[in-house]
Amino acid sequence: MSSGDVTFRNFLAALPTPGRWLLATTAFQVLGRGLTLPFTIIYLHEVRHLSLDVAGAMMALIGAVALVFTPLAGTLTDRWGARAMVIIGSSAQVIGVGLLAFAETVPEVTVAMFFIGICNAGGWSAFNVLIASIVDGPLRQQYFGINFALINLGIGVGGVIGGVFVDVDRPETFTTIFLIDAVCMLIPIALMLGPLRAVHGRSEVPPEEADGPKVTYLSLLRRPGVANLVLIGLVFAFVGYGQMEGGFPAFARGVSEVSTRVIGWAFALNTLVIVLFQFAVLRRMTGHRRTRVMMVMAAIWAASWLILGSTGLFSGTAAAATMVLVYHALFACGETLLQPTLPAITNDLAPAHLRGRYNALGAAAFQLGAVVAPLSAGFLLRHDLSVAFIAILVAGCALLALFALRLEHQISPAVNGVPDPAPEPAR
């Protein structure tokens, strides 16, 4: 498809049948995630009465567990296939959110977060490998972007439902949304065991490399561009989704002083922006350097965090609530730029038989950022350091742009989303 042909109908027509089933998997599983994502730290702090520091630590535990197990998950993805790892990760998520629905003590929450961390270790990166094994070329970048829009559609719809339904004075409402999340995660398991059972997502090692030196994660980090990809993933998680899950809800409740309903609507607005603009962004970015797109995204995110920080001047007012919504809308604009680029670069750069480990490196960096983000947010916000919190995130956005610029000089134009320049004619 050319850049002008990026529509959902044309995209579906170009997809092989397994790709369509995979999209259905995304749509189902994230609906339950949307119910719980904006409210987990609120649930731990205001319903289960854990201190903000402890609640932040519990959120960080998910990333810590994933960080420990992600290298193993990446290796197993290359050996067993991505489909098997998606099944394992989804099963762990079912157990984790099912336990969290009834957890009342720190040890019980810890066990629940351990299983959710197992899912994060293998499930999401393996899902990217499945995508890369089904589609290639420009269609791959489009798939990552559209898949992201569907993820946000499910999260947004779930966020709206959750924001209206949950009540901190009725703990059973939180139990209900976590159980629904568990049920939703059973659907991708069923699809992997049914229509997608023939898609294993595994590539054989080329004969010329079979007897070569053993591939280690350290040797991968020495390959051109890989280390910068890892740094981008780390900072991206810290200033992005790590803070969206932990820092933003805590800031919005404690500093902006808005209601859980406003937080739910903010996530919904985030989704609406992504769903409405993702196709337009895909059309505009086709043929442009993916690293330059990342730099634009970093500037947009910096502006969004500054807007959120300004809500502290109007705490508890309609102005603060409005600015929280504006923050999420602007943040979403940046998301539409990043999600089609980073996974596409990773999977275009990786040899087919090493995609599991390349994606695992990216996932490990993401998990490390997800560990540090809620811990730092919990500490800074509990000690009334909201200005420092925002300043650190803006500085992180500047680092993100710098790493993207460095990456541009280490990867080929094709991996960066533009055609290789034609050679000059001989004179």
Tens of pLDDT, residue by residue over 207-222, are 666 666 778 888 888 8
What pLDDT sits at residue 71?
Answer: 87
The residue ranges of DSSP E strands in 277-353, in sequence order, are: none
In tens, the pLDDT along 359-383 reads 888 888 877 887 788 788 888 888 8
Nearest alpha-carbon partner for 42 in 183, 166, 180 = 166
Band (426; pLDDT cuts 50, 70, 90)? very low
What number of other Cβ atoms are within 10 A of residue 105's Cβ? 10
| Residues 165, 173: Cα–Cα separation, whole Å | 7
Say if 207 falls within a structural domain: no
Residue 154 has pLDDT above 80, yes or no: no
Q: What is the mean pLDDT of residues 325-332?
A: 93
Count up the domains in the chain and report the number.
1
Band (272; pLDDT cuts 50, 70, 90)? confident
> What's the whole-number average pLDDT of the chain?
84
Say if 422 falls within a structural domain: no
Q: What is the mean pLDDT of residues 251-259?
A: 88
For 47-112, give the DSSP string: IS---HHHHHHHHHHHHHHHHHHHHHHHHHHHHH-HHHHHHHHHHHHHHHHHHHTT--SHHHHHHH
Residue 93 has pLDDT above 60, yes or no: yes
Q: Which residues contact 409 (CB under 8 A, 6 or more apart)?
A: none
Rounded to 10 deg, the angle between the 226-239 and 355-382 helix axes is 30
Q: Which residues contact 34 (CB under 8 A, 6 or more apart)?
A: 154, 155, 156, 157, 158, 159, 161, 162, 267
- Which pTM does this prediction carry? 0.74
In tens, the pLDDT along 15-54 reads 888 888 888 778 777 888 888 877 888 899 889 988 888 8
DSSP element (H, E) containing 259: none
For the chain, percent of residues with pLDDT exceeding 90: 26
Residue with tokens 């059309």: 283
Q: What is the mean pLDDT of residues 233-259?
A: 86
What pLDDT sits at residue 3?
Answer: 47
Instruction: Give me the domain span that covers residue 66.
Output: 3-198+223-408
Residue 427 has pLDDT above 60, yes or no: no
Classify residue 261 as exposed, middle or buried by CB count within 10 Å of its CB (0-12, 13-18, 19+).
Answer: middle
Say if 375 falls within a structural domain: yes
Q: How far is CA 117 from CA 122, 156, 239, 383, in A?
A: 9, 22, 20, 28
Say if 421 falls within a structural domain: no
Say if 150 falls within a structural domain: yes
Q: What is the mean pLDDT of residues 325-347?
A: 87
Name residue 32's amino acid.
G
Residue 138 has pLDDT above 70, yes or no: yes
Nearest alpha-carbon partner for 118 in 89, 146, 141, 140 = 89
| Residues 333, 310: Cα–Cα separation, whole Å | 19
Band (261; pLDDT cuts 50, 70, 90)? confident
Band (112; pLDDT cuts 50, 70, 90)? very high
Q: What is the mean pLDDT of residues 115-124?
A: 84
Query: Higher-confidence residue: 408 or 372?
Result: 408
Residue with tokens 């995979």: 22
Q: What is the mean pLDDT of residues 85-108?
A: 93
Say if 285 falls within a structural domain: yes
131: domain CATH number is 1.20.1250.20
What pLDDT sits at residue 237?
Answer: 86
Say if 419 falls within a structural domain: no
Tokens of 139: 């269609």
Residue 246 has pLDDT above 80, yes or no: no
Grouping H, G, I as helix, E, B as strand and the rest as coil, residue 167 is strand
| Residues 59, 72: Cα–Cα separation, whole Å | 22
For 4-56, give the DSSP string: GG--HHHHHHHS-HHHHHHHHHHHHHHHHHHHHGGGHHHIIIIIS---HHHHH
What pLDDT sits at residue 88?
Answer: 92
What pLDDT sits at residue 208?
Answer: 60
What pLDDT sits at residue 115?
Answer: 95
| Residues 218, 228: Cα–Cα separation, whole Å | 14
Say if 205 falls within a structural domain: no
